[in-house]
Amino acid sequence: MAHDLLTALGLALLIFGLFVFFTAVLGLYRFDYVLNRMHAAAVGDALGIFCILAGLMLLHGWSLSAAKTLLILVFLWLTSPVASHLIAEMEVTTIPNLHAECKEETR
Amino acid sequence: MSNTPENKTLTERLVSWVNGEREPKDQTLFVMEKRHRQPRRPQPSDEEHEEQERHRFRRFLRGFPVAAVMICGVLVAVLVWAVMTMPAFGEAGNPINNEVAEHYLEYTEEETGATNAVTGMILSYRGFDTLGESCVLFLAVSCVMLLLGRDAHNTDEHDLLKIGQEDTIEKQAPDRILQQVARTLIPFIFLFALYVLINGEVSPGGGFSGGTILGCGLILYTVSYGHAATSRWFSAAIYAAVRTFGLLLYAGLYGYYIFMGANGLESTVHFSMAIDLAVGLVVACTVYGFYTLFQRGEI
């Protein structure tokens, strides 16, 4: 019973992860500007990766493979925001007219 | 005069051609070029020319779909025919299931000392091929070094100024986020690279994948802490020494292996592990060298 429940939960997480990636790819195609597209892609990088890997862990059960999957999740969650940060920094420091593309906030 | 083009020997001309000296232009040709010739046909005016081009383009468009459909159809027919003549997937009587594959699977551990049959195949049975691949990587870095390497002859003030500016920006405003994450991750990346390199003979992995991970770790270090931080302990001399050592180690080990009869080594050394390490050094140096040479033209 508990095993069936875990499998159902894992499948649900996988399907939700696929949906999140679908929205990410859709946003990547529909948006024009770098920062907008990055926002769309980051949804997939954070939530989509989490859903898919957590679903895989639940499907696979308590094992060494699940621990390795957890390590992959930690690695991706550490590196993907840094990459996004670098791309955004590059865009903001090099674009000549940021006003035309988006609203600026000063803090 | 001895330095006119006619009097030069072939070697002198070859040397001057390699050095990029041009021979002076032939004066008679120059005179002929200057003479104005009437065009054979009257030149069309701009509108006529545009109209002609548009006409040609429209004719091209009319033929284009037909040609595309025909090419696609022929391609699909050839591919479908090829698939239909292939033997069914996974049947025992297929030509790939012969005694060669059986021999490899059965005797790899005994003959090469590698538990992983794929590693045994790549590094021992087919090691000459892998040696050639390592040479290709080595030569690729050497060629990029020749083409993009900076020295006193091909660097001007502008390049130096640009590189100096980038260095000052890096020094004055280092990216703290990147540096913190890199400090956390780089030890694990190097550890994982060593694991893949050394463990290649018993698990998936080996020289090429481990070397790539090692090179990527070096690139991450260079990106986050600046070029000066890496070249402090990984200078051009050490770089050249490491990649030459990797290739020579491989060539030496494999030559020894071949000339000793290719079967008498299983108990002496962990042959595959040493060769994996050698390949890994060459690959890591290749990956890192491409990055730095393309970025700033020096190691």
Residue B26 within a domain = no
Residue B282 within a domain = yes
Per-residue pLDDT tens digits for B52-99:
888 888 888 888 888 899 999 999 999 999 988 888 777 777 777 778
Residue B93 within a domain = no
Residue (of A90, A6, A82, A91) closest to A46 by Cα position: A82
Total domains present in chain B: 1
* Structure tokens that stand for B174 in this block: 């280092």
* Structure tokens that stand for B59 in this block: 């004719």
The Cα–Cα gap between B225 and B171 comes to 9
The Cα–Cα gap between A20 and A14 comes to 10
CB B246 within 8 A of CB B279: yes
Residue B208 within a domain = yes
Mean pLDDT of the region B34-56: 74
Q: Residue A43's CB: how many other CB atoms inside 10 A? A: 14
Per-residue pLDDT tens digits for B192-243:
999 998 887 777 778 899 999 999 999 999 999 988 888 899 999 999 999 9
Among chain A residues, CA nearest to B178: A82
Residue B290 within a domain = yes
Mean pLDDT across chain B: 82
Residue B62 within a domain = no
Range of the domain at B247: 115-152+173-296
The Cα–Cα gap between B278 and B249 comes to 6
Q: Which DSSP symbol is given to B87?
A: P
pLDDT tops 70 at residue B22:
no
Contact yes or no for A82 and B184 at CB 8 A:
no
ipTM: 0.83
Question: Looking at beta carbons, which residues of chain B come within 8 Å of A82?
Answer: 177-178, 181
Cα angle A43, A32, A41; round to 5: 15
Phi, psi angles (nearest 5°) of residue B9: -75, 170
pLDDT for position B262: 63
The Cα–Cα gap between B83 and B182 comes to 49
B144 touches chain A (CB under 8 A): no
Q: Percent of chain B, pLDDT > 90?
A: 32
pLDDT for position B209: 92
Residue B277 within a domain = yes
Per-residue pLDDT tens digits for B93-125:
777 777 888 888 888 777 776 777 777 788 777
pLDDT for position B1: 42
Per-residue pLDDT tens digits for B164-186:
888 888 888 888 899 999 999 99
Residue pairs spanning A and B at CB distance below 8 A? 14
The Cα–Cα gap between B279 and B123 comes to 10
pLDDT in tens, chain A (107 residues): 788 899 999 999 999 999 999 999 999 988 888 888 998 999 899 999 999 999 999 998 888 999 999 999 999 999 999 999 999 988 888 888 777 777 777 76
CB A41 within 8 A of CB A28: yes
Select from B178, B184, B185 the Cβ nearest to the Cβ of A86: B178
B166, B179, B181, B224: which to substitute to probe chain A, counting the most A Cβ within 10 Å? B181
CB B286 within 8 A of CB B137: yes
Residue of B51 and B2 predicted with greater confidence: B51
The Cα–Cα gap between B232 and B235 comes to 6
Amino acid at B65: P
CB A37 within 8 A of CB A31: yes
Contact yes or no for A75 and B185 at CB 8 A:
yes
Contact yes or no for B185 and A78 at CB 8 A:
yes
Cα B70 versus chain centre, distance: 37
* Structure tokens that stand for B214 in this block: 């090692």
